[in-house]
Amino acid sequence: MTAQISLINELEEALSQGSAERRTKTLRRVTDLFAFGWSHFSTDHIAVFEGVFNHLIADIEKSARIELAVRLAAIPKAPPKVMRLLASDDSIEVASPVLALSDSLDNVALVETANTKSQQHLLAITERKVIAEVVTDVLVERGDRAVALKVARNSGAKFSEIGYVRLVKRADRDDELAQSVGARAEIPRHHFLKLLSTASKAVRLALEAAHPEHASEVQRVVADVASSIQSKAATTSRDYVAALKLVESMHAAGQLGEGDVMAFARAGKFEETAAAIATLSALPVDVIERAMVQDRQETILIVIKAIGLSWAAAKAVLLLRNGRGTMSENMLRQSLEVFNRLKRETARQVVEFQQKRQAVVSSPAG
């Protein structure tokens, strides 16, 4: 009790008239007290410490802020406002341990820091054990190559659809990044295939080792990038088996139409969207999949026009294949012009040609 009264008296004196050196000494004592008892403190206790820390760290030297950041970063119940203040410190030596380790930082604080601070701050965030999609979206968009590479290698990082779109686009002509992105266990199939279409031979071979379940696809791309994926590989994919089963049951019941294609696309369900378009067009799903991952969008627009879907459905599919947020109004306007100029009869003829071609390819040799 005497020690606590002594500390309170020292704190009052330090805050009212103490020098920077005195404030630093008192800060260390308060930090010791918090570090020793944090696991037993209530929310109200932590709030009191938060106010004390906020007063003490004003105008103290960088070395003292670094020391405080290092000690508090590893404490799960560290005062959140103090941690947010330290995380936004312009000095990376202060901010780094907090950004990398502190459980007291929420996603709002991480996003704010990622949007406003240096590349070194972003790099520190990539070291966290778990990184939410809302945070990786900013890291991938704003971070430099080192940031993109490190977050791609972080198994605890989660990526949204738009995050993967940006990563795959950035990986073009960057073998190291392409290999890191492609090696992620949970990478969606369509992004994996898009990555393969532009990756070098060395990267494709490395990705084959990382994803043995896609080995046939990788080998085919190595042999012929333009023709892409084997029909069997697509139709026997675990994801496509479920998607095709769902879509075919809907079609058999007379329930598959434009609204379903739009709903699948808007929900980000790539496999279901491809399966629905394949079923409605009577084309193999690997043909539709290829049209949806290739850079040229005319092919998928032709198929959509041929089966009588509207621009609203075409737009939903384009946003799915390109990633929401990556298509400008100008790009969409140009796509609309292409779609409107395309005659349905012409589109039907193209699709019929593809149907006959696939029938010849699929028929056994005589």
Question: Domain residues of the chain, as ranges?
Answer: 1-104, 235-362
Q: Name residues whose C-beta falls within 8 Å of residue 91's C-beta, 6 or more positions apart in sequence.
A: 62, 65, 66
Q: Is the distance from CB of 131 to CB of 124 less than 8 angstroms?
A: no
pLDDT the model gives residue 287: 84
Torsions phi, psi for 49 (to 5 deg): -60, -40
**For 283-308, what is the mean pLDDT?**
85
pLDDT the model gives residue 216: 60
Look at phi and psi of residue 128 and say left if phi exceeds 0, alpha if psi is from -120 to 50, else beta.
Answer: beta
CA-nearest of 74, 98, 77 to 86 is 98
What CA dihedral angle connects 359, 355, 256 and 335, to 10 degrees?
Answer: 150
Q: Model confidence over 213-239: pLDDT tens digits? A: 555 655 555 444 434 433 444 444 556
Distance CA 276, CA 260 (A): 8
Q: Is the distance from CB of 333 to CB of 314 less than 8 angstroms?
A: no
Distance CA 12, CA 14 (A): 6
Torsions phi, psi for 80 (to 5 deg): -60, -40
Q: How confident is the model at residue 354 (pLDDT cuts 50, 70, 90)?
A: confident
pLDDT the model gives residue 275: 92
Residue 115 pLDDT greater than 60, yes or no: yes
Distance CA 236, CA 242 (A): 10
Which of residues 327 and 234 earns the better pLDDT score? Answer: 327
Helix (H, G, I), strand (E, B) or coil at 244: helix
Q: Which range (23-27, 121-125, 163-167) has the least confidence?
A: 23-27
Which of residues 70 and 289 earns the better pLDDT score? Answer: 70
Q: Is the pTM of this model over 0.85?
A: no
Residue 112 pLDDT greater than 60, yes or no: yes
